[in-house]
Amino acid sequence: MASTTFIPAHSGTVRQQGDRRARSRMLTLCLAALLVTAMLLSLGWGAASDTDVIGALLSADGVSVRDSTIVWDIRLPRVLTGVLVGAALAVSGAIMQGLFRNPLADPGLVGVSAGAGFGAVVAIVLGGSAPLWFQAMTGYYLVPLAAFFGGWITTLLLYSVATRNGRTSVATMLLAGIALAALTGALTGILVYYATDDELRDLTFWGLGSVAGANWQKFWSAAPLIIICLFAAPFLARSLNALALGEAAAGHLGIPVQRMKRIAILTVACSVGAAVAVTGGIGFVGIVVPHLLRLVQGPDHKGLLINSALLGGVMLLLADAISRTVIAPAEMPIGIITAIIGGPFFLWILMRNRSLVDL
């Protein structure tokens, strides 16, 4: 007869117990504190190092217009945008990795990055030929809007290709995504041919990503969507955990798998779409952040999603701080910095996990 004794839930070390949730909760507190610190430091950091930040924040007398503009119109929207974009990219990365059951999955697999990029190309190259009333109406939001809709269209396309009889096959989505990337690449090539020199430069810079263009209008247009997605994401945690056993087993555990996949894809498309629309293409955050966290707190999505959001925000602020100051008074596009850090890190993950990476 098997023993009926049990180990009380709160004794023993985490290692013995196997329950890493307490560690995960601690990490959440630490990351939240780190994020707040990073935000405050970012406000005080920038090319114009002599800015009277505190005075500007308190709207004290004697604060110059320049300092006030720097703090309120340049740094503050930039910091807030950076946090939201970093959080969106990191959480979406974690969700994608859970959905595809692979630690190397990336938000781009859902098609949103390819579509957003293509939307941006269309807007940059053909924007000048649009009817004047249209140009006047959209102003310099033409590119972000086009990127956002582009991301949506490709996600919907991939989703419908991969879904039959209500069942969405993530493997099909992956393969169709490759085909789609080839197609958008070709169409982009055609547009690039017709582009002027200036448009080509703009395209290149868009692709490298930057938080520099973040102003209040852009922030307010992207923020609600991203915030909703960030709040919705943790509800996917339970489902993503169960999904690690495979879709069949997850179904038997009570997860409505197809509905959950739809919600996951929707969340990723919205948050990444909004993020990419505002900042252009920023890579590696979606892979590096969740992976780092898994090393510390384990793959349990209950803590992973929230912590990814927090650490993603911190990372983006860090990268942005570097981009703002390394070649001041000029700026280095943030995508370059995330790639410089993320690329070697990604290789390191691959080498460390050779056995786990079996497609």
Partner 1 sequence: MALIARNISVRFGSVQILRNVDFTAEAGSFSAIIGPNGSGKTTLLRAIIGEIPYEGRVSINGQDTRDANSVLLAKQRAVLAQSTQLAFPFTVFEVVRLGLTAGVATGDPSKTAELPFKALARVGLEGFEGRFYAELSGGEKQRVQLARVLAQIWLPVLNGQPRWLFLDEPVSSLDIGHQLMVMEIAADYAKAGGGVVAVMHDLNLTAMFAQNVMLLADGHCLASGAPGEVLTNTTLSTAYGCSLAIKTAPTDGAPWLLPQAAQLTQHRTPS
Partner 2 sequence: MMIRTVTMIAACVAWPTISPAERYPTADAIVSVGSPITEIIYALGEENRIIARDTTSVFPQEASELPDVGYMRRLSAEGVLSVGPDLIIARSTSGPEEALDQLRAAAVPIVFVEDGFTPEAVLASVDTVGEALGVEEKADALIAKLTEDFAELEQKRVGGDDPIRVLFALSIDGGRLNASGRGTGADGIIKLAGGMNVMADTFEGYKLVNDEAIILAAPDVIIMMDGRGDHGGRAEEVLALPSVSLTPAGENEAFITIPGAALGFGPRTPQLAGDLLVQLETLSSGE
Q: Can you give the binding site for partner 1, defined by CB under 8 A?
A: 2-7, 9, 13-20, 101-103, 238, 241-246, 248-249, 251-256, 294, 298-300, 356
Report which of 30, 35, 7 is spatially closest to residue 230, judged by C-alpha positions.
35
Can the peptide bond before residue 329 be classed as cis, meaning omega within 30 degrees of 0? yes
CA distance 245 to 260: 15
Contact region for partner 2 (CB under 8 A) — 64-72, 126-134, 253-261, 350-358? Answer: 64-72
Which residues from 136-175 bind partner 2, rule CB under 8 A? 139-140
The residue count for the chain: 359
Short-list 189, 153, 157, CA closest to 176: 157
Place of tokens 């929230």: 306
From partner 2, partner 1, none, which one binds at residue 2 (CB under 5 to 8 Å depending on kind)?
Answer: partner 1
Quote the tokens at residue 108: 């781009």
Quickly tell me which residue has 């969340």 as its tokens.
267
99: which 2 tokens? 């959905």
Give the distance between the most distant pair of CA atoms in the chain. Answer: 83
Residue 193 binds: one of partner 2, partner 1, none (C-beta under 5 to 8 A by kind):
partner 2
Q: CB of residue 146 vs partner 1: minimum separation in angstroms?
A: 36
Sole binder of partner 2 in the list 1, 329, 351, 354 (CB under 8 A): 329
Q: Is 75 in the site for partner 2 (CB under 8 A)?
A: yes
Contact 346, 292 (CB under 8 A): no
Instruction: Please choose which of partner 2, partner 1, none residue 248 contacts, taking the beta carbon within 5 to 8 angstroms, the exact cut-off set by kind.
Output: partner 1
Q: Which is nearer to partner 1, 13 or 129 (CB)?
A: 13
Report the distance separating Cα 109 and Cα 101, nearest Å.
13
> 221 vs 258, which CB is nearer to partner 1?
258
Binding partner of 241, given partner 1, partner 2, none, CB within 5-8 angstroms per partner class: partner 1
Report whether 314 contacts 79 (CB < 8 A).
no
Of residues 34-53, which lie at the interface with partner 2 (CB under 8 A)?
46-49
Q: From the list partner 2, partner 1, none, which binds 15 (C-beta under 5 to 8 Å, kind-based)?
A: partner 1
Residue 63 is a binding residue for partner 2 (CB under 8 A): yes
Q: What are phi and psi of 282, to 5 degrees?
A: -120, 120
CA distance 256 to 129: 47
**Residue 293, strand partner residues:** none
By a kind-dependent CB cut-off of 5 to 8 A, residue 11 interacts, out of partner 2, partner 1, none, with: none
Q: Which of residues 102-131 bind partner 2 (CB under 8 A)?
A: none
Nearer to partner 2, 214 or 237 (CB): 214
Dihedrals phi, psi of 167, to nearest 5 degrees = -100, 125
Based on the shown chain and the rule CB under 8 A, indicate whether residue 358 belongs to the binding site for partner 2: no
Tokens linked to 293 = 């966290």
And the tokens for 65?
Answer: 């217009």
Count CA atoms closer than 13 A to 348's CA, side-chain side.
10
Binding partner 2 by CB under 8 A: which of 9, 330, 351, 359?
330
Task: Tell me if 197 contacts partner 2 by CB under 8 A.
Answer: yes
Per CB under 8 A, the segment of 7-15, 65-73, 285-293, 306-314 that binds partner 2 is 65-73
Nearer to partner 1 (CB atom), residue 66 or residue 252: 252
Give the H/E segment covering residue 34.
Answer: helix 21-43
Is residue 235 close enough to count as binding partner 2 by CB under 8 A? no
Out of 54, 66, 350, 356, point to the residue binding partner 2 (CB under 8 A): 66
How far apart CA 288 and CA 241 sit, in angstroms, is 19
The count of chain residues that interact with partner 2, using the rule CB under 8 A, is 36
Supply the minimum distance, in Å, between the C-beta of residue 7 and partner 1. Answer: 5
Quick check: 6 binds partner 2 (CB under 8 A)?
no
- Tokens 């579509």 correspond to 115
The CA distance from 85 to 218, in Å, is 12
Binding stretches for partner 2 (CB under 8 A)? 46-49, 59, 63, 65-66, 68-70, 72-75, 139-140, 193, 196-198, 201-202, 205, 210, 212-215, 218, 324, 327-331
